[in-house]
Structure 1
Amino acid sequence: MTERYLGSGHLSEDESSLTGPVPAHLPQRLTITLWDFSWYTQAGPGDPYEDLDAVVADAAALGYNAIRICAAPLLLCGQLGLDDHARALEIEGLGASPDGGYFGRRTRWYDAPGGYTLDLRGRLLALFEVARRHGIVIVLASWEYQQSPAFAASPAWFDAIDAVPLDQRYAVLAGAWDRMIGWLTTHGFREQIALVELHNEVDFSILPALDQGVPALRGLRERHPDLLITASYGKPPHLAMHQVPDGLGAAQFHVYSYGVLDALQQVLDIRSEGSADFPNAELARMLRGDAPAVADYGRAAAWKYRATVVTDQMIYGYDWIDPSAWDTWLEEHYPAYEAVMLREIESRTIAIARWARWRDVPAVVGEGWVGYTPLHGTFEEGSIGRALAEHGIDTALAHGVWGVVLCSNAAPHHPMWEQRDWQARVNARILGASTSQQQ
């Protein structure tokens, strides 16, 4: 009824076409499963990634056509004196705890028991080979200035990259990527590279602001003009996207709406460090009955906390929280946050897509949608979390986003992987969008 009062310029437009051009040899939509560093930190006997062939085949069976990983370019190709370390990388996780278990056992991503050694260079080639057989492309990133080295038994990897002066880190990353791209090309895998990210979540890593990395990024793009090369933001400036520096080959940004989860984290003070009263009364009431005292549980080696973004309070809290109490609190308080969480997911996704369209580059949501929860919490896997995820995915498809995760937790090292029917259905919807677009 109101459209007759508006000029044609005010009518909504179809924005479902891709925000920017995608190389012809790549899929016209990516449905991404986020394997991060876990594909090598949880690769021991009985771990989710022990059998690469089987787990890649499983991803393909669920409809995924892209895997996003930490390729550890600084370790493998950084020329930092780590070659021997890379050939025999001893994975420890966060290490053994005094009670006979290991730190991080009930967290996401940090639940790595370790206890094995691998040749990461050989494993990366094996992943590319298996992925090619199953029609899957690889999104290459680095988590090295965020957390990857913390899982090693030795601090050598972290010490080497930490010794790089802050203002030289982007240049060193670009050099490592240049050598890794050349190495993968020599082995015939160039067309398997969907995207290269200078680093994951530069705004949440031990790196300068991204504008300082643009010269290195531009140089890498000039050396490899046929590849999409960028860097990712954990929380781009959604209300002022003009502040994102020019020079990115893709808009690979993440969309998290913490909402009710952030409210709970503040109540529990679970992600801080050095809190005098930790655990506070609210957290104490939510702990498992067998939770040890903080002092008795201890903490991982000090260097591991320097090598990662998590705190000892988070490790203790997530290891010993009662997940049913956690989920109950979130579910009871969610109604007050539902509208704003839906709105945040939608508006942030649209902001990313419109920035990408302005810059004429493909848009990718490589992580999302709610946030970081304990391993056995089911809020994001449940009906509420799935509805939020589908809202984000539908918004992304409607606004021409090229690649999208179903959820950051939809990967073999998370319980959400068992929701197979949901993943297959949503993946079919994402891939179907590319079909309908071409018709």
Structure 2
Amino acid sequence: MSNPLPAHLPDRLTVCLWDFTWYTRTGPGEPFEDLDRAFTEAVARGYNTVRICAMPYLLFGSGLDTSSLTFAPFGNGYGMRTRWYDVRQTATLDGRAHLLALFQAARRHDCHVIVSSWEYQQSSSFLADPSWHVALRAVPAERRAGALADALADLVDFLAEHGLADRIAFVELHNEIQSTWLTEALAPGQSPVLGLRPYLEKAIAAFKARHPGQLVTVNYARVPAGEMRGIPANIDVAVFHPYVYGVLDELIGTFALRDTSVPFPQERAARELLRPDAPPLEEWRPEQEWRLAATVVPRREVYLHDWCDPQRFDAWLYDRYAAYRYGMAERLRIWIEVAADWAAERGVPLVLGEGWVGYTPLHGTFEEGPVGAAICLEAVGHASRVGAWGTVVCSNAAPQHPMWDDVALQTAANRLFTRAA
């Protein structure tokens, strides 16, 4: 790295993905009902950093009253067998006070926080009313990156006023910018990676003008090999999410989960994946239709995750995995090496903030079982080998997922990563 990291930050970031769940699932019995307990459990597994959607535009840009935010299930059972969308309880909280509580707990447990935003992807869909979603979409597309930068700068000011800014590991303008409504500023067919660069560079420069000492960046789904020139030149941290998919891509394509131009194969899904009591796709909707517009996750994918038999889903992947095993392993290795090479050439640290296979049902065990565990250790080994500053064990290794119970895997992976620091 051309510039040393701030002295108060860890030599290696062992990252746990708390995303938006740290505020959507705070009700009775939920994983973030008690932030101190969540941090205690994270530290016991070897983590020193959590990565969150800090809801910056809602709290500091929207102008909405955030003193009494109510987060609620989608209703009708929608999303209850998915990851991230399975909100169980309704809970009301003061948004800014909850942000302070998180950072205060991080200090008590000697942890740091990666401050990000999922707002132009799905965060607003969890609120009990559409006000947040409406406020986000009202910002002209070409202004959205700048609006996020302004809100994040205000958020850093707010934390600094309370003596908590030193808990920030770094700031991300937004999560996975290729898959956001920031891309609505682009011409049809324009590459999101290449096309968003000028908007992102301008926004990052505006943030740096207010907080020149604060590390700031954006992050990318996958590693955009072939388009690395589209990454902003003024980022301070190179952040990528190497989801390799492989065999999971075949399932997504076979059942047209992300391609609405193709009819959903209801009969085949029933034969191969669904539970006998599954309703037709068209009947599966949340209570409030606006929530569908407030998330980038396709309704077909939610439906399949909600109504599949998890054992049949896993078996479908295992039956075909042998044909993809080598390719998935090579993609993971090559992507991490490409990311590390790009970061080294520009003198910035590398962080792998999410990964490794892809989006699977809540009770699927492909990433929790022997195949997934091996991929986790392989990926963390690559991250250590290339000298990454930070990595996750797996995106599913967090309090809101069943994988949280696999303490041995998480501690082993985090030791593997930190022992070379």
Q: TM-score, normalised by structure 1?
A: 0.90
- Find the aligned partners of 2:2 and 2:337 in 1 and give their Cα distance: 11
Does 2:212 match 1:229?
Answer: no
Partner of 1:90: 70
Match of 1:217 among 204, 210, 213: 204
Partner of 1:346: 333
> Which residue identity lines up with residue 82 of structure 2 in the other structure?
T
> Which residue identity lines up with residue 209 of structure 2 in the other structure?
E
- Find the aligned partners of 2:93 and 2:229 in 1 and give their Cα distance: 43
**How big is each residue's C-alpha offset from its partner over 1:245-288, in whole Å with a ceiling of 9 and x where there is no partner?**
31111101111100001111112223343754442414543111
- Alpha-carbon distance, 1:240 to partner: 3.8
Partner of 1:394: 381
Contact 2:145/2:173, CA 8 A, preserved across alignment: yes
Identity of aligned residues (%): 44
Contact 2:152/2:173, CA 8 A, preserved across alignment: yes
- Find the aligned partners of 2:313 and 2:144 in 1 and give their Cα distance: 39
Unaligned 5+ residue runs, structure 2? 184-195
- Find the aligned partners of 2:107 and 2:263 in 1 and give their Cα distance: 52
Alignment of 1:153-232 (within 5 A): 153-208=128-183, 209-232=196-219
User: Secondary structure of 1:135's match?
Assistant: coil
Match of 1:107 among 78, 82, 93: 82
Aligned CA distance change for structure 1 residues 357 and 87 (closer, same or farther; 3 Å): same
User: Secondary structure of 2:135's match?
Assistant: helix
User: Secondary structure of 1:368's match?
Assistant: coil
- Alpha-carbon distance, 1:335 to partner: 0.8
- Find the aligned partners of 2:112 and 2:84 in 1 and give their Cα distance: 22
Aligned CA distance change for structure 1 residues 416 and 320 (closer, same or farther; 3 Å): same
Match of 1:39 among 4, 7, 22: 22
Alignment of 1:167-316 (within 5 A): 167-208=142-183, 209-273=196-260, 275-316=262-303
- Alpha-carbon distance, 1:30 to partner: 0.4
> Which residue identity lines up with residue 203 of structure 1 in the other structure?
Q
- Alpha-carbon distance, 1:332 to partner: 1.4
- Alpha-carbon distance, 1:371 to partner: 0.3
Partner of 1:366: 353
- Alpha-carbon distance, 1:299 to partner: 4.2
> Which residue identity lines up with residue 34 of structure 1 in the other structure?
L
- Alpha-carbon distance, 1:210 to partner: 3.5
**How big is each residue's C-alpha offset from its partner over 1:183-229, in whole Å with a ceiling of 9 and x where there is no partner?**
10111111110010011111111103233221110221232222210
**How big is each residue's C-alpha offset from its partner over 1:363-396, in whole Å with a ceiling of 9 and x where there is no partner?**
1000000000000000011111111121111111
Contact 2:222/2:244, CA 8 A, preserved across alignment: no
> Which residue identity lines up with residue 37 of structure 2 in the other structure?
A
- Find the aligned partners of 1:371 and 1:350 in 2 and give their Cα distance: 19
- Alpha-carbon distance, 1:336 to partner: 0.7
User: Secondary structure of 2:107's match?
Assistant: helix
Q: TM-score, normalised by structure 2?
A: 0.94
> Which residue identity lines up with residue 106 of structure 2 in the other structure?
A
User: Secondary structure of 1:301's match?
Assistant: coil
- Alpha-carbon distance, 1:19 to partner: 8.2
- Find the aligned partners of 1:367 and 1:20 in 2 and give their Cα distance: 24
Contact 2:256/2:264, CA 8 A, preserved across alignment: no
User: Secondary structure of 2:290's match?
Assistant: helix
- Alpha-carbon distance, 1:300 to partner: 4.8
Alignment of 1:318-333 (within 5 A): 318-333=305-320
> Which residue identity lines up with residue 44 of structure 1 in the other structure?
G
**How big is each residue's C-alpha offset from its partner over 1:321-349, in whole Å with a ceiling of 9 and x where there is no partner?**
01101111111111110111000001101
- Aligned CA RMSD, in angstroms, stands at 1.6
Partner of 2:116: 141
User: Secondary structure of 2:367's match?
Assistant: coil
Partner of 1:11: none
Alignment of 1:107-126 (within 5 A): 107-126=82-101
- Find the aligned partners of 2:330 and 2:264 in 1 and give their Cα distance: 35
- Alpha-carbon distance, 1:407 to partner: 0.2
- Alpha-carbon distance, 1:304 to partner: 1.4
Unaligned 5+ residue runs, structure 1? 1-17, 435-439
> Which residue identity lines up with residue 67 of structure 2 in the other structure?
R
User: Secondary structure of 1:87's match?
Assistant: coil
Q: Which has the larger Rg?
A: 1
User: Secondary structure of 2:305's match?
Assistant: helix
Partner of 2:192: none
- Alpha-carbon distance, 1:119 to partner: 1.1
- Find the aligned partners of 1:149 and 1:200 in 2 and give their Cα distance: 14
- Alpha-carbon distance, 1:154 to partner: 0.5
Match of 1:70 among 45, 53, 75: 53
Aligned CA distance change for structure 1 residues 312 and 145 (closer, same or farther; 3 Å): same
- Find the aligned partners of 1:258 and 1:276 in 2 and give their Cα distance: 22
Partner of 1:380: 367
**How big is each residue's C-alpha offset from its partner over 1:129-149, in whole Å with a ceiling of 9 and x where there is no partner?**
111111100000000001000
- Find the aligned partners of 1:416 and 1:384 in 2 and give their Cα distance: 13
- Alpha-carbon distance, 1:46 to partner: 1.0
Aligned CA distance change for structure 1 residues 166 and 174 (closer, same or farther; 3 Å): same
> Which residue identity lines up with residue 421 of structure 1 in the other structure?
A
- Find the aligned partners of 1:430 and 1:19 in 2 and give their Cα distance: 22
Does 2:118 match 1:131?
Answer: no
Match of 1:150 among 107, 125, 129: 125
Match of 2:411 among 424, 435, 439: 424
Does 2:63 match 1:81?
Answer: yes
- Find the aligned partners of 1:311 and 1:240 in 2 and give their Cα distance: 26
Contact 1:72/1:144, CA 8 A, preserved across alignment: yes
Partner of 2:390: 403
- Alpha-carbon distance, 1:427 to partner: 1.1
- Alpha-carbon distance, 1:426 to partner: 1.2
- Find the aligned partners of 1:269 and 1:283 in 2 and give their Cα distance: 14
- Find the aligned partners of 2:31 and 2:109 in 1 and give their Cα distance: 18
User: Secondary structure of 1:411's match?
Assistant: coil
User: Secondary structure of 2:354's match?
Assistant: strand
Aligned residues: 409
